[in-house]
Amino acid sequence: MPDDIATGLSTADGFPVYVRRSARRRRTVSAFWQEGKAVVAVPAHFSASQEREWVAKMVQRLQSSGQRRRPAQGDAELLLRAQELSRKYLAGRAQPVSVRWVSNQRSRWGSATPAEKSIRLSEQLKGMPGWVVDYVLLHELAHLLVASHSPEFWRELAGYPHTERAKAFLEGVSFASTRGLSAEPEAYLGSSGGLPEESSSES
């Protein structure tokens, strides 16, 4: 499986853009959707400036080509779930454009990019109790409103009745994990609009 390199860019609808360098390519450049991301394949000999130029060009073509990335069934359901949670607990003020499951987020439960109104949840959450998944969703929805874990941020979550229970559950999962995850749930939840692994204006 080729290594895809995060560019730090996102498409207009909030999906991350990756570059795939190939020694087999000599002149051709292509772009396609794959597993919730836009991938631009370029020749390995391209300079950094050539790569930037072609990434911008090919992402624009990809978005206008009619090959628009349609959310997977699970992603569509997740977006509806997030919208309902926002209406119920945040007075509808958090309005995500995209909410999706991701498989490459192994060291955090969720992340958000407020500038793009996008949320990503780790597939590790699948199978956990619904009130735990709802807590992580609400946590990321609140980050669309407040970037930090300030008192204002926690006030946004005050209406959710399972916050402390869900935090304890996630802490227990982390403690029991053999992956070396931190025992602090907040270490895996997006702050400042997201987290480093996504490389999109995150801290």
Q: How many CB atoms lie within 10 A of CB 143?
A: 26
Mean pLDDT of 67-75: 58
In SS3 terms, the chain reads as CCCCEEEEEECCCCCEEEEEEECCCCCCCEEEEECCEEEEEEECCCCHHHHHHHHHHHHHHHHHCCCCCCCCHHHHHHHHHHHHHHHHHCCCCCCCCEEEEECCCCCCCEEEECCCCEEEEEHHHCCCCHHHHHHHHHHHHHHCCCCCCCHHHHHHCCCCCCHHHHHHHHHHHHHHCCCCCCCCHHHHCCECCECHHHCCCCC
Residue 185 predicted with pLDDT over 50: no
Domain contains 114: yes
Lowest mean pLDDT among 20-29, 88-97, 99-108, 180-189: 180-189
- Same-domain status, 185 and 144: yes
Return the higher-pLDDT residue of 172 and 166.
166
Residues 57, 115: one domain? Answer: no
The span from the CA of 4 to the CA of 166, in Å, is 34
Q: In a 3-state reduction of DSSP, which class is residue 31?
A: strand
Asked if residue 45 is part of any domain, the answer here is yes
- 42 & 97 share domain: no
Does one domain contain both 46 and 86?
A: no
User: Is pLDDT at 200 greater than 50 in this prediction?
Assistant: no
**pLDDT above 90: percentage of residues in the chain:** 38
Confidence of residue 10 (pLDDT cuts 50, 70, 90): confident
Considering its fold, how many domains does the chain have in total? 2
Q: What is the mean pLDDT of residues 160-180?
A: 82
Q: 100 and 168 share a domain?
A: yes
Same domain, 80 and 179: yes
Same domain, residue pair 56 and 122: no
User: Residue 70: which pLDDT band, with cuts at 50, 70 and 90?
Assistant: low
> 101 and 179: one domain?
yes
Q: What pLDDT is recorded for position 66? A: 55
Q: Are 137 and 99 in contact (CB under 8 A)?
A: yes
Tens digits of residue pLDDT in 75-121: 778 888 999 999 999 999 999 888 988 887 767 899 998 888 889 99
Contact criterion met (CB below 8 Å) for 41 and 22: yes
Q: Which domain holds residue 35?
A: 5-64
Q: Is 106 found in the same domain as 19?
A: no
The rounded mean pLDDT for the chain is: 80
Residues 59 and 79 in one domain: no
Q: Confirm whether 172 is domain-assigned.
A: yes
Domain co-membership, 92 together with 33: no
Average pLDDT over residues 11-28: 82
- Whether 179 is covered by a domain: the verdict is yes
Residue 176, in any domain of the structure:
yes
In a domain, 203, yes or no: no
Q: What is the CATH number of the domain that holds 161?
A: 3.30.2010.10
Residue 151, token pair as written in the block: 């008192």
Does residue 54 sit in the same domain as residue 86? Answer: no
Confirm whether 142 is domain-assigned: yes
* pTM of the predicted model over 0.75: no
Is residue 193 domain-resident? yes
Q: What is the pLDDT of residue 73?
A: 52
